[in-house]
Amino acid sequence: MAKEVSVRLHEELERLETKRTKAQDELERAKRLLDESEDRRLSLQKEVNSVTNEVYTLQSFPVTSTSNSPFSALFTVRQTPSRAVSDSRSSLTVLDELNK
């Protein structure tokens, strides 16, 4: 009788050890997937931040039309701040000359 109990306990111990090993493997797999997902999320967040910064930079430049055509809204030139200042000074000089 004691031998039967010992054999059953040993078999139960082996089954539990197998389940524990499976659970441990699954946990490692889940941790690895979580790390990969976090890496992808961080990469995408950097890309979003980069695009957002670029949009803000482009929004800060004045937009001037390149022609009087109906399609001029489609083809615009974004000026850098230094060019915008230079163009503004040129416009003021022309206005000053016209007012004389």
What was the pLDDT predicted at 63?
59
What was the pLDDT predicted at 59?
84
What does the alpha-carbon distance between residue 53 and residue 69 come to, in Å, rounded to a whole number? 31
Provide the residue ranges of all domains of the chain, joining segments of one domain with +.
Answer: 1-60, 62-100
- Going from the C-alpha of 42 to that of each of 23, 31, 37, 55, the distances in angstroms are 28, 16, 9, 20
DSSP at 68: S
Confidence of residue 66 (pLDDT cuts 50, 70, 90): low
- Going from the C-alpha of 94 to that of each of 10, 46, 52, 68, the distances in angstroms are 99, 45, 37, 20
18-40 pLDDT per residue, tens: 999 999 999 999 999 999 999 99
What was the pLDDT predicted at 45?
95
Among 44-53, 55-64, 87-96, the range of highest mean pLDDT: 44-53
pTM over 0.75: no
In this structure, what token pair is assigned to residue 79? Answer: 């000026």
The answer to whether the CB of 68 falls within 8 A of the CB of 51 is: no
Percentages helix, strand, coil for the chain (3-state, rounded to 5) are 75, 5, 15
